[in-house]
Structures are given as structure tokens and as C-alpha cells.
Structure 1
Amino acid sequence: MYKNYLSSILIIAVLIGLFLVSNVSAAGVEEKTIKVANEKSSYVASRDVTASSKIFTKTYSVQNADKIDPKSIKYSGNGILKSSSLSVADGKLTVTIIGREDQKPSIKVIGKRTRGDFFKGNPGNSIWLYADGVHWQANDYSSTTFQEIRPAKIVGGQKIKISEDQYQWAPKLPNGETLITTWQPDVQKRIDQAAWFMKEEGNVFEQNTKTLVYIDKSLVDLSSAKMGNVRDSEDSPNKIIDITQPTKESLRKANWYGIEFTLPNSRGTGWTEQEPIANVANIVEGRLYYVTVDYYLEAETLPMSRFEIEGTITYELDIGPDPNVKLTGTISPTSTEFSGVDIPVEINGTAMVENVGDRIISKWMFYSRPEQTASAKSNTVTGNNKTASTKFNFTISSGDVVEDPYVQNYVLTARVHFTDGTTAEATVPLHSDVYQKAVPIVTCVDAPVPIIDAPSSAMAGETISISGARSNATGGKSIANYEWDGNWSGFTTLTGKGGDIMLDSVGKKKVTLTVTDSEGCKGTTEKAISVGKPLPYAKALVEGSLKENRLIIFDGSESRGSEDEDANVKIKSYTWEVIENGGGSADASSIRFAGKLSGRTKNVLFKKAGSYCAILTVENEYGATAEDQTCFTVKPDEKPIVNFSAVKEVLRDPDNDLKATLQVTDLSYSPDGDYIAQRIWSYKYDSDNDGSFDDETKVLIDDTNLTEMKEDVAAVGKYRIYLEVVEGFGEPTIPEFITSADYRRSNSWE
């Protein structure tokens, strides 16, 4: 026996919904922050520190300067804010900060010539040809007492055979004789002339002049200045003896040195060669031999002080009460009977703003969307209007009505924009309800009981299990058949007691199960499943060589379309943004990349060192977004260090057309892992022998990256070798963004 049951029909009248929401805020005080960059004064002698030495005056452009509360201005960091010197005028804030003192005790310094070259001396000794035209007289000193020896040393002379039984004495240069000369530099004069540099560890004569740290003369305790060390500047085996070293007090001479050398001395000057002459009674000839020595001074600095500031300035703006937006929203219909077709919905909104003050309104923006949808419709109302209205139209799809009642929620937002860049907004919720007629279901008296086990909600992309296994028959009967149906296009037909289904779209889903027992009676039930948007998972990585002008890779490959690792959701887009670490937009001119800053991975090159953050925004196929940020530091590309060694004295070679060979070996290197890609060798020749190369023309020797260079020259005199080196990149880069100026270079003359 069968019975028919017809449920009652419920019809709800169409109503109009009204909502009023406003955003409320009290009188406002806004705190602002200014970063005070690190700044250091020059060192001065601690004894010369004055009040003005400590002062840093800084001026900053600020908005709404007329609203700054002077009492709220505070400084945090190195130093102390001088409150009595605050000034706010013409859109600028001027502060005076007393810097934090950094004291240093005395340090050792060396005195050299202005460009860092050593002082030079030319001590010498003379020999004189006797009137007999044969013998030479040389001034000599005792190598133990360093006192002049009287009579003078007699050297030279030779016996020449002019016939079978006749000989004649003729003059002969005293080659092989050892002479000693004494020398005392004018230390006081050099103190007056000296430039001072910080003394480094090790042998001063072996240190690179280019790396010396200059110390202002006002910081040097000149009363402590004294003679430093002396060396033979030509690296010949001449012996330099410090006369201050003998133990006998009577032999001590302040700053006196003895130089012992062997004739002939190739650096002798002041004569020309003479042919032997038989009758030389009236000829007296003098010859001066000299050596060139390098030396420097030593001293200590006075105690030194400098002052430093770094920190933040905070102040408060009295901005008055915040703008307050009031929003009224209506929806039609608020409720309606479902007739099997799409249902049109109209939303109207009216907004007004209070507490505008002297702000100027540029526009109103209205937004509305179904609650389950991320993207919203928008309308714009321009002009300086304190009130504005809008209207939106939506449609409830008949396919979405799977519950009774079906409730569609909406969101309405009004946002007012001011010309100063600030905004205020308010949001109201609205909803429209749809009711259905009850569907008559015919069942047996002892109909089987269908039961659907499935989640009530899930995310798109997930695979869920749907089961009817708990369905049961009554009266000793059994379930003979399971029949499944779903109301969406992607529904996969289930068989038997159920299975797994992948949810490939967002919305309200309905699954229907009809079971038939062993006597042919049927029972039907439904299950509603709400499918929402899955949130993606963003993971930003920064890889590569974190240095200026090198390849840096933004990698988002570990991101997923869903937070659920097992969900089958694709990522639609990857978008990257670069900001400075600590906030603020990064300088776009310092960042290079091809096309748009987007993609799963992106090759990027930074032109400027600094601390940055990369922000990755991923959007999945359902329009949901997620964001991740990673911060990193781009190191500066350091210049190469130029250094080379040279054979300092060379002779002309009779076997090489009387040419001398200049020989140098490069010792340059990159301090940060790059390599030397080009070495450019050149020289200047002191053509007028005046000791200066400033008026000479530089001659290119080679620019093909030789590490060892030899150059034949014919002219006798002094040459100065110059070297310029250019780095190549030791790590990958992006060639299309590299210019010749990006390769670091250094030279030996600057």
C-alpha cells in the first residue's frame, strides 16, 4: 500500500531591507617618525673640542607642519636633542642634536711627503785629484768612531809603460775603494713639511702608499716627532749605519747616519771622464759620489674626539577628529519564492561623511559583491560632495538554490577619498532569502532509509569521499541498488555505495541518493555541500649572488594553489614587488629585469647595494590570493686592489741595441671574489730629468691583460710605471643590463 504526502506551500512576500552603519573615531593624534641617518664629524684634538664641535643641525621637509605639537618632538638614538633650538616653519622641521662623543687615545703616525712618498736625502763624499795628476785624495771616516781621519785617504794612480825602459804614472779612478760619508737630515724642516699618516703594522718601507690613512696635521703632537728609519732607495748593497747606536756616549750624534759604499758608484755626478795626461802639474779635478736614501718621521697624535648621530625623531600631529562615513544600504528582494528561474537582485546605497574639516573630497568609491566572491563590482562618484549614492544589480542563479531557504549574503562598502591621500570608509551587510515549494516525494510504507555521509563544506580542488553505506532497509529487506545524482556540471557519476569526487568549482552543491530495497521500494535524500575558494600558499625565495650587478633569482616554485598540499588547484599568476627593508618603495632605477616583474621564477639584477624585501603575491585559478615576503641584502661590488712589483734599476744591454728592459709583475687582486679581466700598462719618462713626471706624456705599453710585462727602452733616466686594472665578474650576471661602467676598476696613480 502506498501513501502520497504533499507538504504545504509557503510563500513569503517581497520586502525591502534597510541597514545603517557608520565608522566612528575620536579626535585624532597621529605620530610621525623621521629616520636620522648616521653622520660623523671629523676628528679634532680632544683639547680643541668646543660646543660647536658637537652640534648637528638637521632640517626635514614635513607635511602638515602647522599641526605639529612642539612639545611632542622627541629624539631617540646617539646624541641628545637640544630642545631650545627646535624650529617649525615653512613646512620644515629643524632640530639641533648634540652628538655622542667617540674618543680615541694617541695613535702612532708616520710623516712623509704630501703624496705619501718618502723623504729623500743625497749624502755624498768627494775625491780630489792631486796636482801630480796621479793620486787621489778621499775624505774618510772611521767606521768605529765616525770621526774624520787625518791625513786623508790616498787612493788610485797607475804605472804605464811608454817604451822599453820608460814608465809614467797616470791618474786612475779609485775603483773598488770603500768610502764612508756621514749625513744628518734636517728633521725640523721635514716636520714643518710633512703630511701625516696612520702607522700600520710591519715594515713601513714595504707598505702600499695608496692605502695609507691620512691624519690631519692639527691632530699630531709635533713635539713627539722624531726621525724614523732610513734605507737605500736604490736597493744597492750600500751599508747604512745608525751613528746613534755606539755605546760610548761621546760618539753619539742625534739623527746622524753613516753610509758605506764602494767606488765606482753609478749614481756619481759632477765630472766628465779625462784622458791620461803626462804633464798635469796644474790640473786639479774633483769628483762627487753620492747615494740616494729614503726616510720618514715618526710621531704620536694628540687624544682625538669626533661626534656621531643616528636615531629617530618622533612627533605628533593634532589632526582633529577622523572623517566619519555613514552608509545606508537597501536590497530588493529581501525574500522571495523560488520559481525555478534566475532571480534579479538590486542593491542601493547612500553615504555621507562627517568631520571633513579642511580636507577636500576627490571622489567616492562604492563596492558590492556576494559574500562568497572575492571580486567586487565598483562605481565611482567624482567631485567634492559630502553625500553620494549608488546602485548595483546582481543575479541569483537558479542552479545555486539548493537549500531551503537559500540565503544569499552581500557586502556593500562606501569609501571616500581626499586629495591629501587619506580615506575613510564604512561597510554594511545585506542578504536576500529564497524559499521553495516542498517537492512531493512518494515512498513505500516501509521505504528504505537513505543516508549520505559527506562533508557539509569543502574547498574547490579538494577530493572528498561520499558514502551511502549507512543506508538501511526495514522489515527484513536489504538495499538492492544505489542511484546517485549531482546538480553541477563537473559531477562524476557515483556507483554502488559511493566513492571519491573532486570538487572543481565554487558554489552550493547538492548530491541526491535514491536507494531501492529488495522489494522495489525507494527512498531518496539530499545532501548540500558548500564549496568555497581555496586559499593559495605563497613561498618567496631569493637565490643567486647577492651583490651589485649579479644575477639574483626570485623563486616562487614552492608556492601552491591551495594551502592543502593534496588539493588539485593551479596557480594562475605570480606577481613580485621589491621594497626597501624597513618600508618604502625601492628605487626602481636600481632594479633591472626583462618584461614584467612576474612569473614563477624571475631573474633580477640590482644596480645599487642595500637591504631589500621581495614580496610575492600568488593568485590561484579561483581568484584567491596569498602573499609572502623575504628580505635580503645586496652587497656592494668592491673595487680591485692594485699592486705590482718592479725591478727598480736596470742597465742598458749591449746585446740588445743598448736598450734596457723594464720588468714588472702584477700583484693586483679582487677583495670580493672577482677576477682581473684587463691590465693596462703604461709608463712616463722623465725627459728633462727634473724629478717630476707631471709634465710628461704617458705611453701605453700593453692592454691585453699581461701579468708580467717587459718593455725595452733606449733613453737613460727615470721611468714611472702605471697600471690600471679592470675586474671581470666572478659570478653570473644578466649581460643585457651591464655596461662598461659597471666593471669595477682601480689604478696605481689615484
Structure 2
Amino acid sequence: MKKLISIILLISFLIPISTAKANTNLQNTYHVKEYTSDDEQQIEIIIDWPTEAGMIIPTGYSFKGKGNLTSFKPDTNTRTIKVVIAGEKKSVTELVKGYQNVMNGKGLTFNKLPGNAFCRYSDGVKWQINSFSVDTKSQSRKDYFREASASLPTIYPPYSQMTEIVGYMDINLNNHQAVWISNLGKIVDPKNIKRNSIIIPPKSHSSSFKSYTALGLSDYNPTNPRLALQYKAEHFDFGPQNQIPASNPAFYTGHAQCYGYPFNLQYYLQAEAEYDVYNYGGTITFNYAKVATSYIAGEMKPDPVSQRFEGKEVKVKVTISAEITDIKDPGAISHYEIYLNNELGDKMYEEKNILANGNMKISRTFDFVIPTSRMTNKDSHDEVFVGRVRAHFKKSSYYVDPTYGHYMDTGRIYASTTVYKEAPPAPPAKGMGPVAIIDAPSEVMLGDDVTINGSRSYDPDGTIEKYVWNTPNAIGDMTDMPSGEIYFTKLGPQKIQLCVWDNDGERDCAQHSLVVTEPFVRANVFQSGTLKENRKVTFAEFSFTSSRYPVIDSKTRWAIKPRYEEIPQSSIKYSGSLDGKNKFDVLFKQPGEYVVTLSVENTAGYTDSTSRIVTIQPDLPPVTVLSAESMIEYRDPKYMNKAKFILRDNSYSPDGDIIAWGRWYVIFDANNDGIFSEQRVLIYEGDAKEVVYYADHVGKYRFHKETIEEFGQETIPAFVTAADRRRSHTWD
């Protein structure tokens, strides 16, 4: 088993258990189901952050179980934790099986074609079958007769009568190569096999024949096995390659001829394997801090707001205050910090470490002086004050703010005092101040980026000079920007505020209400490839979810099954496990309807499933069309007194596949009876569209062709054989 597969399997066994205490660490415990590997000295596990976690405490973890936790690395970008566990090493001995090959974790048995001699007597009617006697451990013979209506000589023996043929094959286990598989379906390295323990268990062999019995000989030796099989003979057309030459040519008189009849023999090996395994399993516990859903809002009030200039400095008291809302545990706040200064920066106040003592409100008043120099050559002056308030969480609370981490911040708060000489500045004419306009959706999913736009704000008699946004429970840099993107960290009704200032210093504010919905996930399947049997089809997970709560690949589950029972599950071919894959290739061995189901879960813990029906079309065989330039030819001296036949192939594929190969045959009507019961003779094999045949006998000839297709669309080579290439011929 490869390492990636093991990781996916392990993650699929993780079961979260959450506990929380006020003002203490929050803990998550993940159970890793017990697991044994014979090739992984260590495994890597990817654990998802708890939904409410703002940060993982990098030193607050432990592991109890089989193996040792060697690495624990939280990743704030992917909101995952990469864990490495070194396995608990143990030496084991077990019985394993050896096969010729492996497909989809299943062993493919060795296939051999030993044979029995089937001999036709010289009379052309009677057949003698050489079988094997289990009792005497020697050859035995039995005669069979074809029906009287059979033409002479008979081409094949009376198969329907031949029900108890016995054949055998001796298997040499010295240096016998095999692919070894453990009981868990894993491939075992040949170096771990005890060579002197290799056997073929008694009566474990089989055959592809429909009717057979695996025989156990009384002197059977599993380390030097003779595999005997009793079978019912199935129809087989003998060809020249099956003829058995006689040691004495005089033996074959009349219609006498012996053929080798191949019967299928299948077997597997068994042996002991010694190797090291690595055991895993236990619990991983770690501490985390949750995201604070509370927020802090502030305001600032100057006193006076405006004052007539009387030739002396103006004293102003500025009160800055803030309040924390939606906090479940007031005791989690440690202290406040207050920062306040005038915009020109010549007066600054800082007050830190103001103990909260459970108070969710804070207020302080500071003295400022507007010097007379501010009014030089001016009729009026606006003294602008800028402040902010921060609330720090206690370290023991393990809360984190999604924007600032260990504290909450009001952001910059503005206020101003106007000083004038003769009279207060006249208010602008009605309708001449700026107009703030917010364009934003009325509904957005938690964690999704949303564009908020104030670009349509305007000033009837001037220009917009400044934009100030207030976006509680949202994250995003909107400083002095007319538009931008934010995302919300809290569910439910929310408000956005925009204040704009024009070139005359006038201000207008607008509010926009929206609702933040739960970050649901909607499963969606993307499909590509060709919907035809023995062609590659690709399915991919393409679900819709919040960008900050993506689908968890390790929890993705696929299922494919036939829609109706007449199609077996084995007709669906793919590699490995589908669990944890966001994309995979599959091949369907039979046409029909199949149901593909996808189940997903996102990092917010929401799940969804979807199913679709795919219809696999049949792969149609080619249409074989054969023509000749002329139906009658004469022997010609320039062709060594032979007749020349020019044959042309006009075969085609009705469903767009490739005509790749062909076999051309001829039958000579030797007895001129017009039946053409004689053996077909191969005259050409290849991809030519035209074949020339020279005939040297006077008489009738019949030409046939077998046409073989190649796939016209992409397939999966591991799951197709030569038999899957569609073919047709002209002799039916």
C-alpha cells in the first residue's frame, strides 16, 4: 500500500470530541483507529481545525497509543494540522498467496494451457482421447464416435459425449515467480518470502471451463505438485498449429490425425512471509483558542463642539468611550488601552493596563488646547481628534480576535471642535452636502468575500474627499477606499456604515443591513470523458461552498453502482479506494445506467450529497464489408500460371471507432460441392485495405475477413484486454 492511501484511510477514521471550560484551554481529541502497515515506518495525518478555533496552541498537544508522535505543525493558512506518527515496530510471520498479477487489490491466478491428445482414426469417424487415470497414475484411452450424419472426415470429436476427461500438469516451484499478497490485500516484497515454504495447496487449482473438478492425487506433493483436472470438453476448432506430428509418418493413414486439445488450468501459490509491521492507533489531544464573536465599538465627544475665537487659546475636553458587546464570558477581558491625539500630532495621550474587572464599558476624558496660532489668517479652524480603544483578552481565556489576535480594536474614531472668529460657519444649503450611498448584497454566506461599494456616493456641489467604513464582525481592509472586499465572521443580521466627507468638509453617513447565513455546502459533480463501455470517464468534485470553508478532501466519499440488478458491480473498474479523492477515472465494462453519488463536508462541518445517473452506451462492433475486383479470374502465365484475385476492404465502424486490424482467409472448395466445409486458411493479417491472392487450383474460392477495431476514444489500459476490442467477420 502506498503512503498516500494510508493517509486517506487514517483520516477517514478521525472522530472529533470537543470540550470547553471558561477561561481555560479548549481541547479536541481525535481517535486514530488501530491500523497495521507493512511498509510505512511513519504516517502523516492532516487534521482539520475545529470550526470555532482561532488558533492552535503549538505546544499544547499529546498522543497516547501505538507509535510516537514526532511532529505537530498547525498551518494558519489552510487551517489544518499536519501530524507525523512513527509506527510501533513488530516482526510477524503469516501465510501469503502468490499470483500471476494483481488488479484492484485482487490476485489474478496463474493460467496454463496443458493438453490432452485427441486423435482421429483413419476412417475419419472414430476419435480416440488420451486421458489420465487417477488410480494407475498412467495414460488411459477411450474411443468416441461421431454421429452418422457427420461429413467425412469429421473436423472435431463429439464434444457433448466427452464429460470425464482427465488432464494434468507438473508445476516446478523452483524459482517460480509470483506477485505475493497478504491477507489484507497488500503486496509483499519477494525478499520476505521463505522460499522453502512455497506450495500449491491440495485441490486449490481451478479452470475457466464451465464444468470441471479439481482432483487430489493420493501421492500429491504440495512442494512438487502434479495438478490433475477432470473436465467436460468444450467445443474447440483445431487448426494447423494444434496438429501433433507423428514420430512415424506411416502412422497417419487415410484421415488419421492427432491434435493437442488445450484445457485451462488455474492455480495460485502459498508461502510463509516474515517481515516487520508498524502498528498505529490511539488518541491525539491538542489545545486551541476559539474565535471571539464579540466586538468593541467606540465613540468620541469633544466639549465644546464649537466656540467663538476671542484671541486666546481654546480649551477642549475630549471624552473617548467604548463598549464590548456579544461577549459570553466578561471575565475573559484582561485590560483596556486608550490612545488619543489631535490630527496634527502635537498632543498625544496613551493610557494602558486599565484593568477591566468584568466591566464591558470604558470611558476617559482628556484635556486639549487649541493654540491661537491655529487661527492665523483664518476665519475658522477644525481641530480634529483621533482615538482608538483596545480590549485585551486574558492569556488564560484562549480567545482570539479574527483580525487582531489577542485583543479587540475599535479602529480609528474621529471627532472635531470648530473655532470661528465672527460667527459660526453657515450651514451648507439644503441638499448641497455629500450623499453617502452603499451598494452591497442583502444576503451573504459566512466566510464568503463580499464587495461593498460606496463609489456611487456624490457631492452636488463638489467632490468626495474621504471615505470611512465601519464594518463590525467583518474582516477586510477598507481604509479610505470607496469600495473593497470583506467577509463576515458572525451569523445573523449585520450592519455596514459608510461616512463620506466632501471638499467643503461636510459629512454624510449611510447604513446598509444584510443577513449572514450559515456556510452550507452544495455537492456538485463534474463529469468528462466518453460515456461508452470500455472508455475512460472522469468524475470530479466541484461543490459550491464558502471560500473560507472549503470542502475537506479527506472526508469526500464517492459511490458508484449499477442502477439495475442485471448489471454486476464488477463491471465498474477503477484504481484503489475512492474515499478522499476529489477526482478519479472509471471504466464501465457493460452498457447501461449507473448511479454516481458524491458526499462532501466542508470545514464548517456542513454536509451534502448528490447523485446523478449516467448512461453508458454500447460499443458497437464494426461492419465488415469485403469486395473483389472480379468474381472470375483465369490462370495467367505471367503469374506463374496462377489466377490473381484483388480483394478490397470497405469495413467501417458505426460508432466512430478505428478500424485497426484485419485477418483475411480463403476456403478452396476441394470437392467442388459448393458447401465450403474445408478449413479456412489465413492469407494475410494486418491493416492493409487491399490484399492480392494468387490461386493455383481451378475451382471455387470463398474469401472471408475478420475486422478488429481499436478504441476511438481514451480508455484505461489496465482494465481492457484484446477481447474488449470489438470485431466482426463474414463467415456467419
**TM-score normalised according to structure 1 size:** 0.34
Q: Larger Rg: 1 or 2?
A: 1
- Larger RCO, structure (CA 8 Å, separation 6 or more): 1
**TM-score normalised according to structure 2 size:** 0.34
